[in-house]
Structure 1
Amino acid sequence: MGLIRSLSLVLLFFVIFDDGFSNPLKAKESWGYVDVREGAHMFWWLYYSDSSSASFSQLPLVMWLQGGPGGSGCGFGNFEEIGPLDRDLEPRKSSWVQYSSVLFVDNPVGTGFSYTDTDKAFATDVATVASDMMVLLKHFFDKMKEFQSVPFYIFSESYGGKMAAAISLELNKAVEKGSLKCNFAGVALGDSWISPLDSVMTWGPYLYTTSLLDDNGLGEVSRAAEAVKQAVNQGQYLKATELWSVTENVVEQNTNGVNFYNILTQEPDDEMTSFLVLSLIPPTALLMRRHIGPLHHQSLKDLMNGPIRKKLGIIPQNVTWGGQAEDVFSSMSGDFMKPVVDVVDQLLDAGVKVTVYNGQLDLIVDTMGQEQWVKQLKWAGLPSFSQLKWTALDDPAYPGVTGAFYKTYKNFSFYWILKAGHMIPSDQGPMALKMLKMITQQD
């Protein structure tokens, strides 16, 4: 432990993949820890792009931020969504490493292999999350000077989008001041918790129009959502978080346990659909079970705490992958229902390229809610954007079949991804890869 701590204090510890780890990966890798605050240690993992037609210096660098908060980009995002290998350590055909270098960060501190020394070191809001990430990125780009001129994009999912918006605003300021050197090219907000209330308020109408609620169910869900709205309007954010959980209970009871991440993929759970059990579990604990649990299923835990931990070789003995995820989640509970629509406005006004993308089958962050907060933007280009007709995109896996729609005006874009739930790269990998290429101007 003493050796690992001393290495951590150096702030960055680089390892190139060459340890006899049995997998087919040939791409160059680096990973390490950054001490972002006293007692707060953040883990990152970089894959250099693996392209036969271009060097990494000719392709963009993408940082991926997972949701939760408490979901691990180095774990779930890497092995379940966009990394070069899947959780069976087989090559992923739709890996983003084909067209970009990918930087996974276990963020906020306490997530994945990141860890804190004390309970006081957990982040409690996105401002702290953004401040921590500025420390990590400054050290990353200072050490990895070969990436300073490479176009740098932040891609995100779920609560990761809320964090990405705040991080992008601080990053843009740092680049303009010259305190951080990188070629920041834009942020992409995927199924993102930008305006929590707009998501909750549209659950009822979305489920009703997809035949998952009847009139009685719509009434019950709408009344529960109105209670959340009242708490938010009164600035009672902790209460709003609890009522958000209650609303999810009402949704589950009236839909026979709909999957919040993909409405067409029901996974029956007798415990979760029992009203008695739901009424006995504290609201925050229920939220953790619904929204942290799927990101830490047993097979992924076994992979990360087994072969991957051994491969990395720098994880402290007392750190377990995902071991502090619930602490991360509960520490942020007062921040959950606060919107960051104003932050997106500031990014657009600053000229930052902003992309919103959403899955058609997502419930927790349904597309209706995303469209509602977009309409609230004060950005001067919104009227022109709204008047545009969208353009259809073929699904790369099924030529001639529509896989998405999109429209772009100046520095703002919106992608509607069909047949995808909350985790778009998992549900529609080829389409997500095509979107990546378009956003990073490779297609």
Structure 2
Amino acid sequence: MFYYFIKSERSPKDDPLVLWITGGPGCSTLSAMLYEIGPFTFDYKNSTPSRPTLKVHEYAWTKVANIIFVDEPVGTGFSYANNWESYNVNDNISATDTYEFLRKWLTLRPEFLNNPLYIGGDSYGGFINPMVTLKVAEGNEAGRKPIMNLQGYLVGNPVTNLPGDINSRVRFAYLKSLISKELYESAYENCNGNFINVNKSNAACVDDLKLVTMCLEKLDIANILEPNCFYMTPKSTLDGTWDPSLVNRDPTLLPSHDLHGLWCRIYNYVLSYTWANDRAVQEALHVRPGTIRKWVRCNESLSYDYSVPEVIEYHKELLKRGYRALIYSGDHDLAIPYVGTLGWIETLNLTVSDDWQAWFVDGQVAGYTTLYSYGEAYLTYATVKGGGHTAPEYKPKECFAMINRWFAYYYL
């Protein structure tokens, strides 16, 4: 299992140790490091698709934490196996392998055993995260060495109960004024509140959902403020160059005479393919030659079995044991909407210690937060105003303030 370890820029021996799990499943944790919370990011103004350059990330979480970015499961990023059977993975195998990786890592780096340990992740990493966290807790209880100083976990826009998460998209679309009140009420009534696995014989429901789709199809599912663009890599054009005019063929989104050009977030992502597949970069990262054919940001060919239906019970078990939790949502994410996340949090039957209120960065509203308690355990829920599916990518300053305060036990 391949990993990147970044020591805290502040005090490595005192600051928290975070194991970071990226989503997908099959998306490289390099994506989180380059675009979200790592110590450097791309210098977009001075980069070209064939020659990306890096710059220091002003709001890196590594300023206040030691972070292990691990490519999991096997087949993700630079992680590999020597036999094909090992590429057949599922939720349980992914969580077990990640836990065993952490045990071996801390055995080799015992100087970090006393650091407060947190398991972090977003998207589908938020699904594997509580499974790994519970394995750490149970391992400690069973006396498995090394004993880890587990303090809690944090998840962003987390997949938790996928049917419920996806089903909340229609309500989210209505709350964000993406569909009309009339369409929402009609769809809710005709579909009986169930917008997935719809019976095709229910013509009224099918017709309503077609209208919903038409309203949403030109929006980026990761952030509704941005356009939906075709996924592309540097190899997408015949000569291997990057041609923005080919990104989206919808005439309503193509540049007009009044616009200098259409921008899509995937322009940012193409740089990681060039950078990570450069042999000099791989040598610097200690990637073993011949272990992978080509690095991809997300491995869509991964043979993955979704063996666990939902992880709400894992959250309950962790709170029963008294661990801290931070759950945050970029509030413009259509993929895993905040309303779905709030829905399953409510099923935990927690006590509201501090009710829904704004939190601020530089005197401006950065989102809204609620503090829940369960015995000695506390769960902080926060929205990030304007944030997308990977909130620190869209709102780095606000998310850095959020994590810095939470690590320090301050209220947001």
Task: Tell me, yes or no, whether TM beats 0.5.
Answer: yes
Structure 1 runs not aligned, ≥5 long: 1-41, 232-246, 275-292
- Write the distance in 1 (CA, Å) between the matches of 2:369 and 2:167: 24
SS at match of 1:59: coil
Equivalence for 1:404: 367
1:182 to 128, 136, 148: 148
- Mapping of 1:263-274 within 5 angstroms? 263-269=224-230
8 A Cα contact 1:85 1:91, kept in partner: yes
Q: TM-score, normalised by structure 2?
A: 0.78
Does residue 79 of the first structure (1) align with residue 43 of the second (2)?
A: no
**Distance change >3 Å, CA 218–CA 327, structure 1 → 2:** farther
- Cα RMSD (Å) of the superposition? 2.9
**Distance change >3 Å, CA 124–CA 318, structure 1 → 2:** closer
SS at match of 2:366: strand
Q: Percent identity?
A: 23
C-alpha displacement of 1:197: 1.8
Equivalence for 1:152: 117
- Write the distance in 2 (CA, Å) between the matches of 1:161 and 1:324: 16
Q: State the one-letter code of the partner of 1:196.
A: L
- Write the distance in 1 (CA, Å) between the matches of 2:357 and 2:141: 34
C-alpha displacement of 1:256: 3.7
8 A Cα contact 2:328 2:383, kept in partner: yes
1:116 to 71, 81, 86: 81
Equivalence for 1:427: 394
**Distance change >3 Å, CA 376–CA 78, structure 1 → 2:** same
Equivalence for 1:61: 17
- Write the distance in 2 (CA, Å) between the matches of 1:227 and 1:253: 15
Q: TM-score, normalised by structure 1?
A: 0.73
- Mapping of 1:320-339 within 5 angstroms? 320-322=294-296, 325-328=299-302, 330-332=303-305, 334-335=306-307, 338-339=309-310
Equivalence for 1:302: 274
C-alpha displacement of 1:272: 8.3
- Aligned residues, how many? 354
C-alpha displacement of 1:266: 1.3
Equivalence for 1:143: 108
SS at match of 2:8: coil
- Write the distance in 1 (CA, Å) between the matches of 2:290 and 2:193: 44
**Distance change >3 Å, CA 65–CA 296, structure 1 → 2:** farther
C-alpha displacement of 1:308: 2.8
Q: State the one-letter code of the partner of 1:421.
A: G
SS at match of 1:365: coil
Q: State the one-letter code of the partner of 1:331.
A: Y
C-alpha displacement of 1:228: 3.0
Equivalence for 1:440: 407
SS at match of 2:168: helix
SS at match of 1:228: coil
C-alpha displacement of 1:294: 6.0
Q: State the one-letter code of the partner of 1:57.
A: K
- Write the distance in 2 (CA, Å) between the matches of 1:218 and 1:273: 33
Equivalence for 1:98: 63
Structure 2 runs not aligned, ≥5 long: 43-52, 200-207, 231-245, 251-264
Does residue 47 of the first structure (1) align with residue 6 of the second (2)?
A: yes
8 A Cα contact 1:86 1:92, kept in partner: yes
C-alpha displacement of 1:220: 6.0
- Write the distance in 2 (CA, Å) between the matches of 1:315 and 1:224: 53
8 A Cα contact 1:76 1:295, kept in partner: no
2:319 to 344, 348, 352: 348
Does residue 317 of the first structure (1) align with residue 290 of the second (2)?
A: yes
C-alpha displacement of 1:255: 2.1
C-alpha displacement of 1:324: 7.9
C-alpha displacement of 1:63: 1.6
More helix by share: 1
Range with greater deviation from structure 2 (160-169 or 205-214): 205-214
Q: State the one-letter code of the partner of 1:213.
A: I
Q: Relative contact order (alpha carbons < 8 A, sep ≥ 6): 1 or 2 greater?
A: 2
- Write the distance in 1 (CA, Å) between the matches of 2:271 and 2:183: 39
Equivalence for 1:173: 138
Q: State the one-letter code of the partner of 2:139.
A: A
8 A Cα contact 2:217 2:228, kept in partner: no
- Write the distance in 2 (CA, Å) between the matches of 1:59 and 1:99: 6
C-alpha displacement of 1:201: 1.6
